Chains A and B, each alone.
Chain A
Amino acid sequence: MRARVMDRAATVILTLIAILIIGTLVGLLGFILTQGWHKLNLDFLTSPPDIVNAGGGIGPQLFNSLYLLVLTMLIALPIGIGAGIYMAEYAPDNKFTQFIRMSIEVLSSLPSIVVGLFGLLVFVNMTGWGYTLFSGALALTVFNLPLLVRVTEDALRNVPRSQKEASLALGITKWRTIVSVILPAALPGILTGAILASGRVFGEAAALLFTAGMSSPNLNFTDFSLTSPTSPLNPFRPAETLAVHIWKVNSEGLTPDARDVADGASAVLIIAVLLFNVSARWFGTWVYKKMTSGSN
């Protein structure tokens, strides 16, 4: 029976492929975590990097990554949710809607370096701001919008029609219905998507090389003004993020322990991405349970 032998062989080969892939991917995660494990202490996470001597940390970079994440989400979430509402509730079936859909498709498959170069041209040079956190946040907004719009649209479409109809039947206007009935019901889905998008923001580097820059001023963490050049909260200062730092240390690092720093920083980045992923799943379910007060 040739067919039977072929069947066996194919099963074995496919299983081997699966084992190879799982092995590689688990090995990859394991490698990054074990390499960086010894660097994961408070000192490394909080102290500034040292360009000449060994022993520098990633404090400012970690802060920059988180702050950039907040800034990006402040800009991207309202626009993304707004556009998602339009696509799910209003968009008529015409050429313009098709054009918006195509734009979403284009944006989601643009190489991030192209988005970064666009940012360099428009948010860095034309505005005259120079390399700033804010330019970086705008570039990352461009980069993340398609994901947020799609997630919002899906979440809104998944809200049962009956809920919407019940609200409309009570004489509540369409906009009120969207804001106070549909949007809350879609919230778990939107939040899950937003957290996943945050993970991408946290790890993104190519678009930031040309917008937020590759250096950080010496930050004074007791200065909370929004305008002082050494204040960590000033959005109009250059900022090197964790992911950019990994790239810089690896490709032009002068520090004697560059390898160590890269090990530690990569482990931190991976742990952050894992946290974002796990919390996205967990948070979505949690909010859903809260809102449906329930047994689901």
Chain B
Amino acid sequence: MLTYNKRQFTENITGRTVALVCAALLVIVVLSITYFIASKGLSTFFVNGVSISEFLTQVKWDPEGEPAMYGVFPFILGSFLVTALAAIIAAPLGIGAAIFMTEIFPGFGKKVLKPVIELLVGIPSVVYGYVGLSLLVPFIREQFDVLGFSLLAGGLVLALMILPTITSVATDAIEAVPQDLRNASLALGATRWQTIWNVVLHSSLPGCLTAIVLGMARAFGEALAVQMVIGNTTKLPGSLLDPISTLTSGITLNMGNTIQGTPYNNALWSMALLLLAMSFIFIMILRILGRKRAVK
């Protein structure tokens, strides 16, 4: 076997090529997703002649009206509001839980909590939507004497969905803080909380921010759970208890009912393009945070 024969040579080359093709496929898929969504999404502006600024800032969405109005601002606002609400609720809880698991009760955290939380990351979003629909919406309806389908319900469901993600990523970040730093702080006479606040949280900050941004990216792109509980009206919300729409819920509900190639349909693809653009923005933020972490 010590001689390098021709069969082995071809085998080596073929194997390497097959592996390379598989890897290159990932690039092709990403490029074609971007190309196809963009080419469909841009036709609203270049074929149907809707102005981009009108599309982004108009508050009236009436694609079947005369004249048709394609203002997607209510959807954009809805997506941002619901994502922000989810992050405001989930971020302190998730990071708090991560601190508890690593700093206060590490044995229990590693053996019990971590696996449980990793398991919860895998719960399907329709199940969260279903729980929101059968518990949360009726609860809000009874408490506040409103419809129940609301920004608040959407934010709470999303907060619950992204909580495991935030906790899990933040735990990894906090665990990565070198023990020496903690010991040094404690040796200087700092209390455990002072050490956590000034040393541990400070040096794991990029990691914790990464956890929050990952959670927000997930919340922004989530479609079905949100659609089930937010009510889907295209009016601007006046309060937390008003029903709203998001980009994802608008697409989910209408894509099947519109005809390919019509301006209405194209407008929905433009909304998909906005989602894609937002996900690129989230990735950019994550990359910047990642670089910060690498420097530390």
In contact, A118 and B36 (Cβ under 8 angstroms)? yes
Binds A, one of B53-61, B64-72, B275-283: B275-283
Q: CA A100 – CA B100 in complex, angstroms?
A: 37
In contact, B27 and A99 (Cβ under 8 angstroms)? yes
Does A134 make an interface contact (CB < 8 A)?
Answer: no
B104 partner residues in chain A, CB cutoff 8 A: 11, 14-15
Binds B, one of A50-58, A168-176, A225-233, A288-296: A168-176
B228 partner residues in chain A, CB cutoff 8 A: 247, 250-251
Q: CA A14 – CA B113 in complex, angstroms?
A: 14
Cβ contact of B2, chosen from A17, A107, A171, A266, cutoff 8 A: A171
* Contacts known (A21-B93, A109-B282, A196-B122); A114 close to B1, Cβ less than 8 A: no
Q: CA A179 – CA B14 in complex, angstroms?
A: 13
A17 partner residues in chain B, CB cutoff 8 A: 92-93, 96-97, 100
Cβ contact of B191, chosen from A4, A28, A79, cutoff 8 A: A4
Q: CA A221 – CA B261 in complex, angstroms?
A: 38
What per-residue 1/0 map shows which CB atoms of A259-275 lie under 8 Å from chain B?
10011001001100110
What is the distance, in angstroms, from B200's C-beta to the closest C-beta of chain A?
12
In contact, A79 and B131 (Cβ under 8 angstroms)? no
Does A93 make an interface contact (CB < 8 A)?
Answer: no
CB closest residue in chain A, given B103 = A14
In contact, A103 and B22 (Cβ under 8 angstroms)? no
> Interface size class for chain B?
35 or more
In contact, A18 and B23 (Cβ under 8 angstroms)? no
Q: CA A107 – CA B221 in complex, angstroms?
A: 13
What is the distance, in angstroms, from B22's C-beta to the closest C-beta of chain A?
3
Cβ contact of B26, chosen from A21, A149, A199, A270, cutoff 8 A: A149
Binds A, one of B44-52, B173-181, B233-241, B247-255: B247-255
Q: CA A200 – CA B118 in complex, angstroms?
A: 13
Binds B, one of A41-49, A66-74, A80-88, A158-166: A80-88
Q: CA A9 – CA B191 in complex, angstroms?
A: 12
What per-residue 1/0 map shows which CB atoms of B246-270 lie under 8 Å from chain A?
0010011001100010000000010
In contact, A7 and B193 (Cβ under 8 angstroms)? yes
B80 partner residues in chain A, CB cutoff 8 A: none
In contact, B279 and A114 (Cβ under 8 angstroms)? yes
In contact, B124 and A203 (Cβ under 8 angstroms)? yes
In contact, A269 and B127 (Cβ under 8 angstroms)? yes
Given contacts A7-B191, A214-B256, 11 further A-B contacts (CB under 8 A): A3-B190, A17-B92, A21-B97, A82-B22, A112-B221, A117-B251, A117-B255, A145-B29, A175-B15, A203-B127, A210-B255
Could you list which residues of chain B lie within 8 angstroms of chain A, going by C-beta atoms?
1-2, 4, 8, 11-12, 14-16, 18-27, 29-30, 32-33, 36-37, 40, 92-93, 96-97, 99-101, 104-105, 113, 115-120, 122-127, 129-131, 133-135, 160, 163-164, 167, 190-194, 196-197, 214, 217, 220-224, 227-228, 248, 251-252, 255-256, 260, 269, 272, 275-276, 279-280, 282-283, 286-287
Q: Which 5 A-B pairs have the closest CB atoms?
A: A111-B221, A203-B124, A82-B22, A175-B15, A86-B19
